[in-house]
Amino acid sequence: MIVAEGLSRPALRRKLRQARRKLSPTQQRRAALDLYRQLAQHPILRRARHIALYLPNDGEIDPRPLLQEAQRRGKATYLPVVNAWPRTRMVFQRIMPNERLKPNRFGIAEPAFRPARQRRIWTLDLVLMPLVGFDESGGRLGMGGGFYDRSLAYRGRRKNGHKPTLLGLAHECQKVDCLPLASWDVRLQATVTDDGWYAN
Ligand SMILES: Nc1nc2c(c(=O)[nH]1)N(C=O)[C@@H](CNc1ccc(C(=O)N[C@@H](CCC(=O)O)C(=O)O)cc1)CN2
Ligand SMILES: Nc1ncnc2c1ncn2[C@@H]1O[C@H](COP(=O)(O)OP(=O)(O)OP(=O)(O)O)[C@@H](O)[C@H]1O
């Protein structure tokens, strides 16, 4: 486990991103399958009809096996798409099996912007969130763009009981003893790793 004390947010981010980038392709493949096993049969996933995921970047744990399974079960699946303007916003857009993607300005694959396929985040059932670091009380450290935090700002400081369910996805090596929380940070219901669940 990474100890956060004494590290600034940028230093902590650097250290955690390095740790996940060091995982070999074999370790990444195994982690993706272990994550799949943690989640595929879980009621949270079985009950959700509109599910947002992401495509892996920078050593993030790979949720594509879950994406394919969700599509196989006939669920509507969504990816984050960063806006050209304003540059601080992102939307969630439905993704069809085998849809053509192209890299956004961060180099992350995205579908072409199509408003008719977009859905407001509060109408989704489940958002599986990428993260750089997490702690055992629902704390999340992201890439630093504030994209997820801004999208979820409507939740205010309420903890649970509102749509969508927020689950972080991570490698075990992204666990931090305790993350400093900013006022805008949104708490996760749980983080799921290749090794298990950390429920808040
Ligand atoms: N897979 C995935 N998709 C996602 C996110 C994510 O964290 N993971 N995001 C969650 O917010 C949004 C993108 N957020 C990002 C925020 C900052 C950087 C970033 O700083 N990247 C490089 C610089 C890249 C460049 O500008 O060329 C860096 O780290 O130096 C990347 C993505 C939307 N899509
Ligand atoms: N609700 C919000 N309203 C306005 N600005 C916000 C909000 N949430 C975050 N921000 C801005 O975004 C910046 C990045 O925030 P932070 O470092 O918490 O992002 P992150 O959680 O790491 O990234 P992400 O959510 O994209 O994965 C902050 O400096 C903050 O100014």
**Domain boundaries in the chain?**
9-199
Pairing of strands 50-52, 126-129: parallel
Assign domain 9-199 to its CATH architecture. Answer: 3-Layer(aba) Sandwich (3.40)
Residues 6 or more apart whose CB falls under 8 angstroms from that of 200 comprise 136, 137, 138, 159, 187, 188, 189, 190
The rounded radius of gyration (Å) of the Cα atoms in the chain is 16
CA–CA dist 179, 134 (Å, integer)? 7
109 alpha carbon to ligand 2 midpoint, in Å? 21
Going by the annotation, the residues of the binding site for ATP are 140-148
Which atom of ligand 2 is least distant from the CA of 153?
A: 1
Predicted-complex ipTM score: 0.93
Question: Looking at residue 185, what is its pLDDT?
Answer: 86
Q: Which of 78, 43, 50 is nearest to 63 (CA)?
A: 78
Task: List, for the chain, all residue ranges whose pLDDT scores fall below the cut of 50.
Answer: 160-161
CA–CA dist 37, 94 (Å, integer)? 24
CA–CA dist 11, 113 (Å, integer)? 34
| Ligand closest to the CA atom of residue 87 | 1
State the residue for tokens 């992204």: 174
Residue nearest to atom 10 of ligand 1 (CA): 147
Backbone angles phi, psi at 175, to 5 degrees: -80, 135
H/E element, 112 = none
The pLDDT tens digits for 7-64 are 999 999 999 999 999 999 999 999 999 999 999 999 999 999 999 999 999 999 999 9
| Whole-number percent of the chain with pLDDT over 90 | 84
Residue nearest to atom 30 of ligand 2 (CA): 146
- Please tell me if the CB atom of residue 110 comes closer than 6 angstroms to any atom of ligand 1: no
Sign of the C-alpha dihedral computed for residues 36, 123, 190 and 5 taken in this order: positive
- Please tell me if the CB atom of residue 144 comes closer than 6 angstroms to any atom of ligand 2: yes
Question: Looking at residue 86, what is its pLDDT?
Answer: 87
- Please tell me if the CB atom of residue 8 comes closer than 6 angstroms to any atom of ligand 2: no
Are the beta carbons of 176 and 136 closer than 8 angstroms? no
